[in-house]
Structure 1
Amino acid sequence: MANFPPAFLDEVLSRADLVEVISRHVELKKSGSNMMGLCPFHHEKSPSFSVSPDKQLYYCFGCGKGGGTFQFLMEHDGYSFPEAVEYLAEKVGMEVPKDTQTQPGDEARQKKAYDMLARASEAMSRALASPGGSKAAEYLQQRELPAAIIRDYGIGYTPDGYGFMNKVFGDDARTNAQLEAVGLLFKGERGYGDRFRNRLMFTIRDRRGRVVGFGGRVIGVGEPKYLNSPETKWFHKSELLYGFSEHRDSIRKARQLVVVEGYMDVLALAAHDLKIGLAPLGTAIGERQIREIFRLCDSPVFSFDGDRAGRQAAWRALERMMPLLKAELTPRFLYLPEGEDPDSLLKLEGADAFRKRLSDEGKPVLETWLLGLKNLAGQGADGRARMAKKADAMLATMTDTYLRQAWQQEVERATGISLQQQRRQPTPTAEAPRPVLELNTVEERFISALMQKPERFKNLPEIAHNFFTGNEGIVSLYLRAFSIIADAKDYNTDIARQLTQEFPDSQTLISRWVNQATVQDIEYESLLLDMESNDIRLRLKRGPNLNESVRLQQRLKELQGQQRKLTEQLNDTGA
């Protein structure tokens, strides 16, 4: 892990513009002092994603994601922290200190691997356009894929026989070992050989758009029909989705996503201007992939062939989906006509008709589940018993309590059997109780007011230091803010940024405060009165001595009088 000097990180962040980074993925519009847009982390119809250009922090009031520029690059684009720093430093024209790498050579090896994979993809594209790639090119013509799709998605060809990769990269021992490490060569009894031979090649990219591996379809006769890159440091089949980096932004913009079975289905959709398709890499879809799908769209359509194999694939997807389902997620399942796939239907009916299938024929996940249970269980009393037993086992994997209860009611109605309600018990842990973090409305607005305008700290009464002493979750952060202001040359210091660096675990919390609706001065005055009044009430509950009690009650009356005058002022001005 890189260890970057704090001064260097500060300088990178001061030169970078969070709005510019986020605007690559989100259309932001001015809203008061902040910018608002549709959240890139979850599907929503009304904007709840706020960006503070002044504080350089973002927060979504819908899903609770928040942070700064590095955090966005890590959470959204899939960068590691060192990669996020290096990317941003390069973007703003800064050189990364050479002594930040704890293991010299790691960065160079990573870059070499990605360069090799990208060069291999380019070489495969050239081979497709050469005379030797004519059969693969004819296959693509038969599938009616436009040249732009072939180019943009990095479709290529690997010739039959051995030696193609060595012609591209050379044939020395070190190069061969590197090519084996990235999955392009394998080592056999007779030495190194090309993993992909006489295959139509599909370039597979990660979330950042980097080439990490390939899928190859055999041309003519051969086994296996499809062959993927092996598991490497860069290629993890269970985590990747074909088309993710190419379609992520268009899926969010269209608010539509269809999960299909293969590479050609994704490409066929894209060729018909439906850049909303994703596919697992030749195997059954897994939980990690489904998690990514739900992050992109809360109402994806899982499209499968209508034959027995297609229904089995749909059932496996549903089983893996169960632990992730929430009441706000509405996935659907679409079974295509016997013998048809998205490619053939698009050619037969066109894009509009396929869109209509997606919207009209997709079955809700609950309906798909009940139908699948009936098909598995069979008829009669024994069948209903088997259906109830299987349903109970599957419901035990669900984590959304309310959704689980609703589904349980539906299956009990279908079978006439009360389920046993067997549930997975949480594993006991020895973790200490988490510090209190809850804030009431007044506290939330008050601390937001301070973070939005740090100069307000200078006029706070001494008693203000005690406002959050009962809240272990934020008291350290709150008191640290006072010392930052005291040491600052002026009261306009970027206190929010400094606090996010010193309290990284509270970054989301601080982002929420600065992205709250602007706290105007007159509201702040009212909040300050409320905070002191609440603090006095807490002291009175502790039973102070008589003199202290009299003093506190007198001060409380003074604050109440000031609050009444402030309320009258607000009414007079119509604020």
Structure 2
Amino acid sequence: MANFPPSFLDEVLSRTDIVDIIARHVELKKAGSNMMGLCPFHHEKSPSFSVSADKQLYYCFGCGKGGGAFQFLMEHDGYSFPEAVEYLAEKAGLEVPKETQRQPGDEERQKKAYTLLSRASDAFARALYGSGGGNAVAYIKQRGLPESIVRGYGLGYAPDGYGFMQQVFGTDNRSAAQLEAVGLLFKGERGYGDRFRNRLMFTIRDRRGRVVGFGGRVLGEGEPKYLNSPETNWFHKSDLLYGFSEHRDTIRKEKQLVVVEGYMDVLALAAYGLKIGLAPLGTAIGERQIREIFRLCEGPVFCFDGDRAGRQAAWRALERMMPLLKAELEPKFLYLPEGEDPDSLLAKEGAESFRARMKDEAKPVLETWLMGLKLLAGQGVEGRARMAKKADSMLATMTDNYLAQAWRQEVEQATGISLKQHLRRSAASSPSPSSEGTVELSGIEERFLAGLFQRTERFRDLPEIARNFLVDNDGVRPLYLRAFSIIAATEDDNTDIARQLAQEFPESQTLISRWVNQAAVQDVDYKAILLVMESNYIKRRLSSERDTMPFEEKTTLPLRLREIDLERIKLGREQSDTGA
């Protein structure tokens, strides 16, 4: 891991405009002193994503994501921290200090791997139209894929037999070892051999659009029908979705997403202008992939064949989805007519008809769940008992307690059986993941900190007593006291305290971003908030320490409370006179 000097990170950020970075993905509009747009981390209809051009921080008041330019590239585009730093440094025309780069050889190996994978994709693409690619081209034409799709998605051909990769990259042992590391060769008893042979090749990219692996469909006889790259440092099948980097922006713009079963389904949809399809890599969809889908779209349609295998696949997806479901999500399930897949239906009916099926025939997830339970349980009294028992165990995995209660009522109505109370209590008492690690603040403390971090010069004018305002809050105290230290160490009012604290306390960056991006705390409001903070602090002390505090404080603190009351009355009159 690189250990970048703070001064270098400061320089990178000072030359980076976070608005430019975010505006590539989010349409931002001026809203007061900040910019607002629809959050790229969760689906929403009203903008709650705020970007402070002044403080160079973003925050979403809907999902709670926040941070700076490095964090946005890491959270949204999938960069590691060193990659984010190096990317922004390159854009800013800065050279990364050599002594602080990653471990010797790490960066070179990474670049070499991605270069090898990209060159392999190009080699497969060339081989498609070579002397041996006739069967692959014929298959593509049979499936009706136009040339623009073939080239745009990196389709290719792996020739039959062994030796193609070595023809492209050379026969030396070092190259062979590198090709084995990225999953293009395997080592057997007789040496190295090509992993992909006589297959139509599908290029698989990560969230950043880099080639990380391949899927290959056999042409003619052979098993397996589809073969993927093995797990490598670059290819993790359970994290990837085919079509993600190519379709992400369209999905967000159109607010439509359809999850299909295979590569050809994704490509068929794209060929008909529906660049909204994603697919797992030849296996049942997993929880991490579903989580990524929900980040893109709140109402995805999971599309499956209408046969028994399709319904079983749908049920597995629903089971994996249960812990992730929330009241604001609206996934649906679409079963196609038996014997049809998206490819064949598009050829028969066209794109608009397929869109109509998505709109009119896709069933809500609750309806799909109830129908699946009934099919699993069977008929009669025993069937109702089995249905209730299965529902109970599945509901226990849900983390949205209100949604779980609503679903529980539906099952109880359908079966006439009351589900177990202990599971309900268990679900209700389990902590929500979103609440873990949060900092507890009262409303007035929240606005006080927002006022300070929006205009950090206000730290200079705080009374001495203010240092103790948040002394009992372990989550905020180190950050708050460090701000005083920074103020004391510099005479420059232009020092960007918010940015400096965000770098020193990366775990608190979301908090700082939230305060910076809140509605502006005007001077007159801030004065009133400061008086309330002081009053609350004095009252807490008088309540808990009166018996032990010095006599002088026992006398002066109540007097100060009366002064604060008078100052608040005066301030209120000033606000009334000015119409504030």
TM-score by length of 1: 0.96
Match of 1:461 in 2: 463
1:138 to 2:138 alignment: yes
Could you tell me which amino acid in structure 2 is paired with residue 507 of structure 1? Q
Match of 2:60 in 1: 60
Mapped partners of 2:30, 2:141: distance in 1:
47
Match of 1:215 in 2: 215
Mapped partners of 2:321, 2:8: distance in 1:
43
Could you tell me which amino acid in structure 1 is paired with residue 441 of structure 2? L
Deviations 1:434-463 (A, max 9, x none): 998322222111111111111112222111
Match of 2:448 in 1: 446
Mapped partners of 2:338, 2:529: distance in 1:
66
- Residue of 490, 495, 501 corresponding to 1:493: 495
Deviations 1:487-538 (A, max 9, x none): 1131121001111111111111011011111111121122222222222222
The Cα shift of 1:365 comes to: 0.9
Mapped partners of 2:470, 2:395: distance in 1:
42
CA contact (8 A) 2:161 2:197 kept: yes
Match of 1:530 in 2: 532
Mapped partners of 1:538, 1:436: distance in 2:
23
Could you tell me which amino acid in structure 1 is paired with residue 66 of structure 2? G
TM-score by length of 2: 0.95
Match of 1:561 in 2: 566
Deviations 1:141-173 (A, max 9, x none): 222222221111111111111111111101111
Mapped partners of 2:88, 2:437: distance in 1:
34
Deviations 1:100-152 (A, max 9, x none): 24631111111111100000001111111334322212222222222221111
1:253 to 2:253 alignment: yes
Q: Secondary structure at the match of 2:77?
A: coil
Which ranges in structure 1 are unaligned for 5 or more consecutive residues? none
The Cα shift of 1:372 comes to: 0.7
Match of 1:511 in 2: 513
Could you tell me which amino acid in structure 1 is paired with residue 145 of structure 2? L
Q: Secondary structure at the match of 1:534?
A: helix
Q: Secondary structure at the match of 1:222?
A: coil
Mapped partners of 1:184, 1:535: distance in 2:
66
Match of 1:387 in 2: 387
The Cα shift of 1:252 comes to: 1.4
The Cα shift of 1:28 comes to: 1.0
Mapped partners of 2:246, 2:293: distance in 1:
14
Deviations 1:63-88 (A, max 9, x none): 00011111111111111111111111
Mapped partners of 2:301, 2:83: distance in 1:
34
Match of 1:502 in 2: 504
Alignment of 1:158-177 (within 5 A): 158-177=158-177
Mapped partners of 1:142, 1:10: distance in 2:
56
CA contact (8 A) 1:393 1:422 kept: no
- Residue of 545, 556, 566 corresponding to 1:551: 556
Match of 1:33 in 2: 33
Q: Secondary structure at the match of 1:285?
A: coil
CA contact (8 A) 1:34 1:53 kept: yes
Which piece of structure 1 moves more, 543-552 or 255-264? 543-552
CA contact (8 A) 1:436 1:472 kept: no
CA contact (8 A) 1:392 1:422 kept: no
Q: Secondary structure at the match of 2:335?
A: strand
The Cα shift of 1:40 comes to: 0.7
1:470 to 2:475 alignment: no
Mapped partners of 1:164, 1:245: distance in 2:
28
CA contact (8 A) 2:261 2:304 kept: yes
Could you tell me which amino acid in structure 2 is paired with residue 399 of structure 1? T
Match of 1:187 in 2: 187
Mapped partners of 1:376, 1:539: distance in 2:
63
Mapped partners of 2:401, 2:311: distance in 1:
27
How many residue pairs match? The answer is 572
Match of 1:570 in 2: 575
Alignment of 1:173-322 (within 5 A): 173-322=173-322
Mapped partners of 1:573, 1:131: distance in 2:
84
Give the RMSD, CA atoms, in angstroms. Answer: 2.0
Mapped partners of 1:153, 1:227: distance in 2:
18
Mapped partners of 2:329, 2:323: distance in 1:
12
The Cα shift of 1:341 comes to: 1.1
The Cα shift of 1:241 comes to: 0.5
The Cα shift of 1:22 comes to: 1.0
Match of 2:117 in 1: 117
Could you tell me which amino acid in structure 1 is paired with residue 341 of structure 2? D
Q: Secondary structure at the match of 1:266?
A: helix
Mapped partners of 1:521, 1:428: distance in 2:
42
CA contact (8 A) 1:435 1:471 kept: no
1:152 to 2:152 alignment: yes
Alignment of 1:98-109 (within 5 A): 98-101=98-101, 103-109=103-109
The sequence identity of aligned pairs, in percent, is 75
Deviations 1:170-223 (A, max 9, x none): 111111111111111112222211111111111001111110100111122322
The Cα shift of 1:562 comes to: 2.1
Match of 2:49 in 1: 49
The Cα shift of 1:58 comes to: 0.6
The Cα shift of 1:59 comes to: 0.5
Mapped partners of 2:203, 2:430: distance in 1:
44
